[in-house]
Amino acid sequence: MESPQKTKTGLNLPAGMNQTSLRLETFSSSFRGISSLSSPSKSTCSDRFIPCRSSSRLHAFDLQDKESTTPVKEGGNEAYSRLLKSELFGSDFASSCLSPAGKQGSASSPISPCTNMLRFKTDRSNSSPNSPFSPSILGNDNGHSSDSSPPPKPPRKVPKTPHKVLDAPSLQDDFYLNVVDWSSQNVLAVGLGTCVYLWTASNSKVTKLCDLGPNDSVCSLQWTREGSYISIGTSHGQVQVWDGTQCKRVRTMGGHQTRTGVLAWNSRILSSGSRDRNILQHDIRVQSDYVSKLVGHKSEVCGLKWSHDDRELASGGNDNQLLVWNNHSQQPILKLTEHTAAVKAITWSPHQSSLLASGGGTADRCIRFWNTTNGHQLNSIDTGSQVCNLAWSKNVNEIVSTHGYSQNQIMLWKYPSMAKVATLTGHSMRVLYLATSPDGQTIVTGAGDETLRFWNVFPSVKMQTPVKDTGLWSLGRTQIR
């Protein structure tokens, strides 16, 4: 076997190949020009050019905050910068960075007049005020680019019309009554005159629960939390307890001298408020009609709500007072007197303990928020009309309020900002009654116009989107009896 040829250059060439067939291309003249500009102390042939860091003008690209203290080699730096800029940005850019005389415009400033070279942040001073994208026009005064901030979240869409309407003949137009309630088993109870009707939401079935007779009338309704039993307050001052499934009366309790206009259950106690200004605590496990009497209001009790932890009871009256009671005392622990009209609308926050909201009547028109731990008023919002009812959503931190004189509207608020989410209209008279569905997405409102209207106002717990209409609901108008 022949051995490979050994050339004078020290290369081992395969058989059949001589030195003339192997030609090494030399670098372009421009590259040799760059190599000569680096001017190392000894000329060395190399396959790449590595500039000396000490002779690089890093401040021209905002890569240095201070000028380099290394002595600048005359001529080499400027030629290298021009050539590099020409390769990166084009030949026109390199020539524009010099003065007409071919020299640097200022000895103390960088060669390039472009202050945004290799920067992400825009110089605010160079933005045109006439540009439609000027930060001053867009309102970005925080010094950050508008691209870095997320786009504003679109407001949640709430349907402006009810998805179902029920006729409710003989639904009373009385501010001090509470004759609509929705159970945890999805059954709506409505008091119409002397009768109580049950409407099952899953199949729209209507059942007549009871008839109190021609000499009595229904003044209040309240389901137990389990949804099996319902309490009824009458105009004679009685409190009746019925089995909603069997349509059978379980218990009748007295104690009030006149009509019982409001009822409230906690886990085991039923509280009733009356025009006789008293609040009675009933325990159906004992034989007596009531176990305690709470005296504090000077006029009819029209609002009553237990806190979610069963520790506190809030009561509102026609004496413009909001009182807070606990389980251990027969005297109110708080007397809140800032309202200037009757306090019927009361709701506790399901998201924060000791947070209470109340609404005043025509002369007050305000929704007020209270910390019941210390009795401080946290906020007050003038709604512009009589506040008839309040309900706090368990799905989201929002509140719905119904109103009477003079706008008869339903309003949805975001807490704690109290920004309006939606305003719903449709009732022609005061919206005196309000109840929430067990899933927390739908509300039903009742008014003196003898209609019940169903609205999808709150999102679900998981989806956080508006509830879509299901096959269970009809857009038609039907009667509840």
Asked if residue 125 belongs to a domain, the reply is no
First to last CA, the chain: 114
- Residue 44's φ and ψ, nearest 5 degrees, are -135, 130
- Largest interatomic CA distance in the chain: 131
Cα dihedral 300, 436, 442, 460 sign: positive
Tokens of 349: 């926050």
49, amino acid identity: F
The tens digit of pLDDT for each residue in 3-61 reads 444 444 555 655 655 555 555 444 444 444 444 444 444 445 556 666 665 555 555 55
Order of strands, edge to edge, in the sheet holding 477-479?
A: 431-436, 442-447, 451-456, 164-167, 477-479
pLDDT tens per residue across all 481 residues of the chain: 444 444 445 556 556 555 555 554 444 444 444 444 444 444 455 566 666 655 555 555 555 544 444 454 555 677 788 788 777 776 665 555 554 444 444 444 444 445 544 444 444 444 444 444 444 433 444 444 445 567 777 778 899 999 999 999 999 999 999 999 999 999 999 999 999 999 999 999 999 999 999 999 999 999 999 999 999 999 999 999 999 999 999 999 999 999 999 999 999 999 999 999 999 999 999 999 999 999 999 999 999 999 999 999 999 999 999 999 998 889 999 999 999 999 999 999 999 999 999 999 999 999 999 999 999 999 999 999 999 999 999 999 999 999 998 899 999 999 999 999 999 999 999 999 999 999 999 999 999 999 999 999 999 986 554 444 443 344 456 677 6
The beta strands (E) that lie in 131-269 are given as 164-167, 180-182, 187-192, 195-200, 205-211, 218-223, 229-234, 239-243, 248-253, 260-265
Provide the number of structural domains found in the chain: 1
Q: What is the pLDDT of residue 121?
A: 45
- Helix (H) and strand (E) counts in the chain: 4, 31
Asked if residue 102 belongs to a domain, the reply is no
Query: What is the Cα–Cα distance from 466 to 289, expressed in whole angstroms?
Result: 45
Q: What is the pLDDT of residue 410?
A: 98
Place of tokens 């088993």: 185
Asked if residue 293 belongs to a domain, the reply is yes
Q: What is the pLDDT of residue 74?
A: 52
Query: What is the Cα–Cα distance from 338 to 368, expressed in whole angstroms?
Result: 9
CATH number of the CATH domain containing 212: 2.130.10.10
Tokens of 64: 């240095």
Q: What is the pLDDT of residue 85?
A: 77
Q: What share of the chain is helix, strand, coil (3-state, %, to 5)?
A: 10, 35, 55
Element (H, E) at 126: none
The reported pTM is 0.67
Asked if residue 143 belongs to a domain, the reply is no
Asked if residue 44 belongs to a domain, the reply is no
Q: What is the mean pLDDT of the chain?
A: 80
Q: Which residues on neighbouring strands pair with residue 180, listed in sequence order?
A: 190
Q: What is the pLDDT of residue 426?
A: 95
Asked if residue 196 belongs to a domain, the reply is yes
Query: What is the Cα–Cα distance from 164 to 478, expressed in whole angstroms?
Result: 9
Q: What is the pLDDT of residue 137?
A: 38
Element (H, E) at 77: helix 76-89
Count the residues in the chain: 481
List of long-range contacts for 383-388, beta carbons under 8 Å, 24+ apart: 383/359, 383/411, 385/409, 386/175, 386/341, 386/361, 386/362, 386/430, 387/344, 387/345, 387/359, 387/360, 387/361, 388/175, 388/344, 388/345, 388/359, 388/430, 388/431, 388/432, 388/433, 388/434
Query: What is the Cα–Cα distance from 59 to 53, expressed in whole angstroms?
Result: 12
Strand pairing category for 164-167 and 477-479: parallel
Asked if residue 159 belongs to a domain, the reply is no
- Residue 19's φ and ψ, nearest 5 degrees, are -70, -30
Q: What is the DSSP string of 84-124?
A: HHHHHH-HHHHHHTS-TTSS-S-SSS-S---TTTT-SSPPG
Q: What is the pLDDT of residue 51?
A: 62
Q: Are 321 and 297 in contact (CB under 8 A)?
A: yes
Q: Are 250 and 229 in contact (CB under 8 A)?
A: yes
User: What's the half-sphere exposure (Cβ side, CA atoms, 13 Å) at 106?
Assistant: 6
Residue 312 lies in domain: 164-462
Asked if residue 39 belongs to a domain, the reply is no
